[in-house]
A and B are shown apart, each in its own frame.
Chain A
Amino acid sequence: MASLKDIKIKITGIKKTEQITKAMNMVAAAKLRGAQARMEEFRPYADKFASVMGQLSGTADPNVFPLMEQRDVKKVLLLVVTSDRGLCGAFNANIISASEKFLEGQQSEGKEALVGCIGRKGYSYFSKSKLEMPLHITDVMGDIQMQDARKAGQQLSKLFLDGDVDEVDFIYGRFINVVTQKPTIKKLLPISATGLESAEGEVAEEEGPKAAYIYEPEPEEILNQLMPMYINVQIMAAMLETGASEQAARMTAMDNASRACKDMIESLTLAYNKARQAAITTELMDIVGGAEALKG
């Protein structure tokens, strides 16, 4: 059995760890509130954007717009959106393993797989792999800005337009609720009319009044302007969701850690008390034994 002193040192150490995990839990909770609010503020913008795009793309001819061009897919790029920091449980590991699975699936179909990364965790993982990585953006998840999403959007559009890749997908940690975050894969490029066109968009066109929009300038031109923005909006939404999910995951992970610390302290205190009792008993026996011997 470990000595009294050893146990005491262990208990103090774990108590300190518990303090840290507790503090991190509280910080994550506060940050989660902010991240969730930003995500919810962004949603009306993204929703409106998607509905207008859906409305317009019905009139669009995919051959006119380079960003909508469907090619024979030979090269696929997956944009992996992860967090910059760790200590959030299996959150990033889940995203990365889902990415690996997707990339392997693409490779087994004979396509070439590339990756792009937003967030340092994904970057440090994939920079060790053999996959080509044409873009990576790190240290932006702490304060998510539209310009970072725009930067990624522009680079990806360029890769697509130059023919360096034929399809772009992205994976992010979708925020379902505080305890559930799910790695989700979505298609970014080419922008497909079928993906945008909501079922009701089609019906509305036939109903008449809704479709009778005045377009200024022509619908094609509006689309041309909106498409790059739409890509940015999608990336931005993915970043915001990942940001909120990260904090939620960290909160849960730190809560678990604090609880584990508590359990450990409890069992160690028990062991400590037992050892103390044993030490006292041996001492008493010694004294009693000594007294007996003197008497004799």
Chain B
Amino acid sequence: MANKLNLEVVTPRKLVVSDEVDLCTVPGTEGVFGVMANHAPILSTLNIGQMHFNKDGETVKIAISGGFVEVSNNKMTVLAEAAEVSEEIDVERALRAKERAEKRIQEAKAGKEDIDMARAMAAMARATARLKVAGKMS
């Protein structure tokens, strides 16, 4: 077990992943980075996007939205507001959310004052991340 990394993905709803992995890549605010066993302690905030980890040659993808990651003592903890493993993703819902977000962004660009651009962009990013993880978008 010496060169495995203990990974935990925690959301307010549940413990999504608790596993020994070889490599884990997360979308940090300052750029995507990978973590392997015996990584130096790090604390970073996360972007909305996809993270994935490798275990015995298999890759698992997870869509996450916001939060932060902490690595210390060979233990990696990802705290996200939401996290979904690829099989769990509701593609239909994500597609609808994406359309809605696209419309809102268009409207915001057209100068409608009552639409919050930042929120629409965040919704867009979340939907895109989910679709990518589900393999419905490249």
Contacts and interface: CB of A to CB of B under 8 A. Distances in A.
Q: Are A and B part of the same complex?
A: yes
Nearest to A215: B43
A222 B42 contact: no
Given A44-B10, A52-B70, A216 B15 contact: no
Contact of B45 (A48, A214, A222): A222
A214 B10 contact: no
A226 B70 CA distance: 13
Interface of B: 10-15, 28-30, 40-45, 68, 70, 72, 77, 79, 81
B68 A226 contact: yes
A42 interface: yes
11 contacts: A41-B13, A52-B43, A52-B70, A213-B41, A213-B42, A213-B43, A213-B72, A214-B40, A214-B44, A217-B30, A221-B45
Nearest to B28: A216
Contacts of A216: 28-30, 42-45
B81 A214 contact: no
Classify chain A's interface size. 20 to 34
A225 interface: yes
B92 to A, nearest CB: 21
Contacts of B43: 52, 55-56, 213-216, 222
Contacts, number: 66
Nearest to A55: B43
Nearest to A225: B45
A219 B67 CA distance: 14
B11 to A, nearest CB: 7
Contacts of B28: 216
A212 B30 CA distance: 19
B45 A212 contact: no
A282 to B, nearest CB: 70
A212 B11 contact: no
Contact of B41 (A214, A222, A226): A214
A41 B29 contact: no
A236 interface: yes
B40 to A, nearest CB: 6
A232 to B, nearest CB: 9
Nearest to B41: A213
A222 B12 contact: no
Contacts of A48: 10, 70, 77, 79
A49 B29 contact: no
B103 to A, nearest CB: 21
A216 B13 CA distance: 26
A222 B44 CA distance: 7
B30 A236 contact: no
Contacts of A146: 12, 81
A177 to B, nearest CB: 23
B38 to A, nearest CB: 13
Contacts of B44: 214-217, 222
Q: What 3 A-B pairs are tightest by C-beta distance, nearest first?
A: A216-B44, A214-B42, A213-B41
Interface in A203-230: 209-210, 212-217, 221-222, 225-226, 229
Contact of B12 (A42, A52, A213, A226): A42
B27 to A, nearest CB: 12
A45 interface: yes
A221 B44 CA distance: 10
Contacts of B79: 45, 48-49, 52
Nearest to B13: A41
B10 A212 contact: no
Nearest to A216: B44
Contacts of B41: 209-210, 212-214
A24 B62 CA distance: 41
B52 to A, nearest CB: 19
B35 to A, nearest CB: 11
